[in-house]
Structure 1
Amino acid sequence: MIATLTLNPSLDYFMRLEALNVGRLNRAIETAVRPGGKGINVSRVLKRLGVDSRAFGFIGGFTGDFIRRFLAEEGISAEFTVLEGLTRINVKISADRETELNGAPQPISQEDVERLLSVLGRLNAGDVFVMAGSVPASLPPDIYRRIIEKLPAGVKPVVDTSGRPLAEAIAARPYLIKPNRDELGQLFATDIQTVEETVLYAEKLLDEGVENVIVSLGADGALFMNREAALRASVPQGQIRSTVGSGDSLVAGFLAALEKGMAPAEAFRFGVAAGTATAFSDDLCTAEDVEKIWPRIALSTIREKRH
Structure 2
Amino acid sequence: MYYTITFNPAVDMVIQVENCQLGDLNRSSGEEYVAGGKGINVSFILNRLGIENTATGFLGGFSGVFIQQKVLKEGVTPHFVEVDGTTRINIKLKSDEETEINGAGPLVSKENFQDLYRYFEERLTDEDVVFLAGNSAPGLDEEAYLAIGRLCQEKGARFVLDTNKDLLTTCLAVRPFLIKPNHHELAEIFQAPVDTEDDIVTYAKKLQDKGARHVLVSRGGDGALLLTEDGEVYTSNVPKGKVINSAGAGDSMLAGFMATYQKSKDFAESLRMGTASGSATAFSVGIAERSLIDQLKEEIIVQRVK
TM-score, normalised to structure 1, is 0.93
The residue number in structure 2 matching 1:13 is: 13
Match of 2:242 among 234, 239, 242: 239
Given that 1:17 and 1:94 are in contact with CA atoms closer than 8 Å, whether structure 2 keeps it comes out as yes
Quick check: 25-34 or 60-69, which moved more? 25-34
> What is the number of equivalent residue pairs in this alignment?
303
The residue number in structure 2 matching 1:272 is: 275
Give yes or no for the alignment of 1:258 onto 2:261.
Answer: yes
Given that 2:217 and 2:225 are in contact with CA atoms closer than 8 Å, whether structure 1 keeps it comes out as yes
- Which digits, 9 at most, give the CA deviation of each residue in 1:66-111, with x for residues without a partner? 1111111111101111100000001123345543210111111212
- Which digits, 9 at most, give the CA deviation of each residue in 1:94-153, with x for residues without a partner? 345543210111111212111111011112112000000011242123421222113342
Query: Tell me, which stretches of 5 or more residues in structure 2 are unaligned?
Result: none
After TM superposition, which residue ranges in structure 1, 4 or more long, deviate above 6 angstroms?
none
2:113 and 2:261 map into 1 onto residues whose CA distance is: 30
1:107 and 1:137 map into 2 onto residues whose CA distance is: 5
Give yes or no for the alignment of 1:185 onto 2:194.
Answer: no
2:174 and 2:126 map into 1 onto residues whose CA distance is: 17
The residue number in structure 2 matching 1:209 is: 211
Seen in structure 2, the aligned counterparts of structure 1 residues 73 and 24 have a Cα distance that, compared at 3 Å, is same
1:259 and 1:269 map into 2 onto residues whose CA distance is: 14
Quick check: 131-140 or 281-290, which moved more? 131-140
- Which digits, 9 at most, give the CA deviation of each residue in 1:206-240, with x for residues without a partner? 22231111111111111111115211111123211
Seen in structure 2, the aligned counterparts of structure 1 residues 26 and 225 have a Cα distance that, compared at 3 Å, is farther
1:170, distance to aligned residue in structure 2 (A): 0.9
Given that 1:9 and 1:36 are in contact with CA atoms closer than 8 Å, whether structure 2 keeps it comes out as yes
1:194, distance to aligned residue in structure 2 (A): 2.8
Query: Tell me, which stretches of 5 or more residues in structure 1 are unaligned?
Result: none
Quick check: 291-300 or 12-21, which moved more? 12-21
Q: How does 1:1-307 map to 2 (within 5 A)?
A: 1-96=1-96, 98-121=98-121, 122-151=123-152, 152-226=154-228, 227-261=230-264, 263-303=266-306
Letter paired with 1:13: M
- Which digits, 9 at most, give the CA deviation of each residue in 1:226-272, with x for residues without a partner? 11521111112321100110001001111112244361211111110
The 3-state SS of whatever aligns with 2:298 is helix
Letter paired with 2:58: F
| CA RMSD in angstroms, aligned pairs only | 1.7
The 3-state SS of whatever aligns with 1:256 is helix
Structure with the higher helix share, 1 or 2: 2
1:284 and 1:94 map into 2 onto residues whose CA distance is: 18
Seen in structure 2, the aligned counterparts of structure 1 residues 173 and 103 have a Cα distance that, compared at 3 Å, is same
The 3-state SS of whatever aligns with 1:171 is helix
Given that 1:142 and 1:169 are in contact with CA atoms closer than 8 Å, whether structure 2 keeps it comes out as no
Seen in structure 2, the aligned counterparts of structure 1 residues 291 and 95 have a Cα distance that, compared at 3 Å, is farther
